[in-house]
């Protein structure tokens, strides 16, 4: 019996046991009971292992695991989660675990550090987002707009669209998995690595949004970009100040397109390489250096 067959068998049992469920409140109530039952199944197995000096009986291990698996499948079926969605989530989690293990197995040993943003530094975001708006909502958004998320263009659309909901649809369509790599970005990172830099990717993407979180790791795995660590923070300067790099003065420079982050870095003594964009051309500071192509950032 393969995974799809198992999910279908559990769905059939769900229908027999719970009947047709139209109420979300009832689904939540059943989900809580299923989660508690799954916990109890694991707990019973652990208690028995303790009694038997840590040696699990094979049948206990197998059938307790099957109980947990069926309780979880039952919850997934309650909320109409398909086997395909579960398989995709498993793949995304697998990619994350692999990258997370590889990066966290390496220890920073005092190398000079480059803090590198992702969106519109390594990944092309604005053009794909503009294309998505045109295709899905018939909204014409100029990539040379001074607004990063094209808020005015979205608000002025005939449909009276909500910018946050539109961005949410971009995320839910898994667009972050397929953003193009900016020309020269791979070579830029390879050059940094060859010069002895420790490459810390730091993005303002929301870490709590699991769709964005796992799609980011998928993109990193698919593109094969070289880096040492990756993290998420809307307050990048604060993140840097709390990092192991800051007190030793190891942060040599940052690369970021955001006016907010670039200025905060610059005002606190960090040199910033900034790609010239329509939304950041007005910022100015002695620690800010603009570039038109990312390969130029190395020579600045």
> What is the rounded average pLDDT of the residues 34-62?
79
* pLDDT at 179 exceeding the cut of 80: yes
Q: Is 88 a member of any domain?
A: no
What pLDDT shows up at residue 200? 98
- Same domain flag for 55 and 106: no
Answer yes or no: is pLDDT of 55 > 80.
no
What pLDDT shows up at residue 56?
Answer: 65
| 78 band by pLDDT with thresholds 50, 70 and 90 | very high
Domain stop point among 81, 103, 135:
81
Specify whether 209 is located in the same domain as 275.
yes
Q: Which of 26-30, 151-155, 212-216 has the lowest mean pLDDT?
A: 151-155
Residues 232 and 283 in one domain: yes
Q: Based on the domain organization, do 100 and 242 belong to the same domain? A: yes
Q: Is there a domain that residue 245 lies in?
A: yes
Q: Is 102 found in the same domain as 15?
A: no
Residue 196 falls within a domain, yes or no? yes
Q: Is 295 a member of any domain?
A: yes
Say if residue 205 is in the same domain as residue 261: yes
Domain identity same for 141 and 252: no
Residue 47 lies in a domain: yes
Specify if 33 maps to a domain.
yes
**Residue 51 has what pLDDT?**
66
| pLDDT recorded at residue 22 | 85
Tell whether the model's pLDDT for residue 43 goes beyond 90: no
pTM of this prediction exceeds 0.95: no
Residues 36 and 73 occupy one common structural domain: yes
At residue 83, the pLDDT reads: 94
pLDDT digits (tens, 9 = 90+) for 100-147: 999 999 999 999 999 999 999 999 999 999 999 999 999 999 999 898
224-233 residue pLDDT tens = 999 999 999 9
Structural domain boundaries, residue 35: 3-81
Q: For the chain, what is the HEC assignment?
A: CCHHHHHHHHHHHHHHHHCCCCCHHHHHHHHHHHHHHHHHHHHHHHHHHHHCCCCCCHHHHHHHHHHHHHHHHHHHHHCCCCHHHHHHHHHHHHHHHHHHHHHHCCCCCCCCEEEECCECCCECCHHHHHHHHHHHHCCCCCCCCCCCCCHHHHHCCCCCCCHHHHHHHHHHCCHHHCCCECCCHHHHHHHHHHCCCEEEEEECCCCCCHHHHHHHHHHHHHHCCCCCEEEECCCHHHHHHCCCCCCCCCEEEEECCCHHHHHHHHHCCCEEEEECCCCCCCCCCCCEEEECCCCHHHHC
Total domain count, the chain = 3
Same domain, 150 and 113: no
């Amino acid at each position: 019996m393969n995974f799809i067959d198992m999910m279908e068998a559990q769905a059939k049992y769900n229908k027999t046991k719970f009947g047709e469920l139209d109420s979300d409140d009832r689904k939540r109530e059943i989900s809580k009971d299923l989660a508690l039952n799954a916990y109890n199944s694991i707990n019973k197995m652990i208690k028995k292992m303790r009694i038997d000096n840590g040696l699990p009986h094979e049948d206990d291990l197998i059938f307790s695991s099957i109980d947990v698996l069926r309780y979880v499948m039952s919850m997934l079926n309650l909320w109409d989660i398909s086997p395909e969605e579960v398989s995709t989530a498993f793949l995304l989690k697998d990619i994350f675990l692999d990258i997370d293990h590889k990066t966290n197995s390496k220890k920073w040993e005092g190398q000079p550090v480059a803090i590198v943003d992702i969106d519109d530094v390594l990944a092309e975001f604005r053009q794909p987002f503009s294309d998505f708006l045109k295709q899905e909502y018939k909204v014409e958004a100029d990539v040379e707009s001074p607004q990063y998320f094209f808020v005015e263009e979205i608000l002025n659309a005939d449909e009276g669209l909500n910018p946050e909901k539109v961005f949410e649809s971009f995320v839910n369509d898994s667009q972050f998995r397929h953003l193009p790599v900016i020309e020269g970005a791979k070579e830029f990172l390879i050059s940094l690595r060859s010069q002895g830099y420790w490459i810390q990717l730091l993005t303002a993407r929301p870490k709590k949004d699991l769709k964005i979180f796992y799609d980011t790791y998928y993109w990193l795995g698919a593109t094969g970009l070289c880096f040492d660590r990756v993290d998420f923070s809307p307050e990048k300067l604060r993140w840097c100040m709390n990092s192991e790099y800051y007190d030793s003065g190891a942060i040599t420079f940052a690369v970021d397109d955001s006016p907010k982050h670039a200025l905060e870095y610059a005002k606190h003594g960090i040199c910033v390489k900034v790609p010239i964009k329509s939304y950041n051309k007005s910022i100015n500071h002695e620690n800010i250096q603009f570039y038109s192509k990312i390969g130029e950032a190395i020579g600045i």
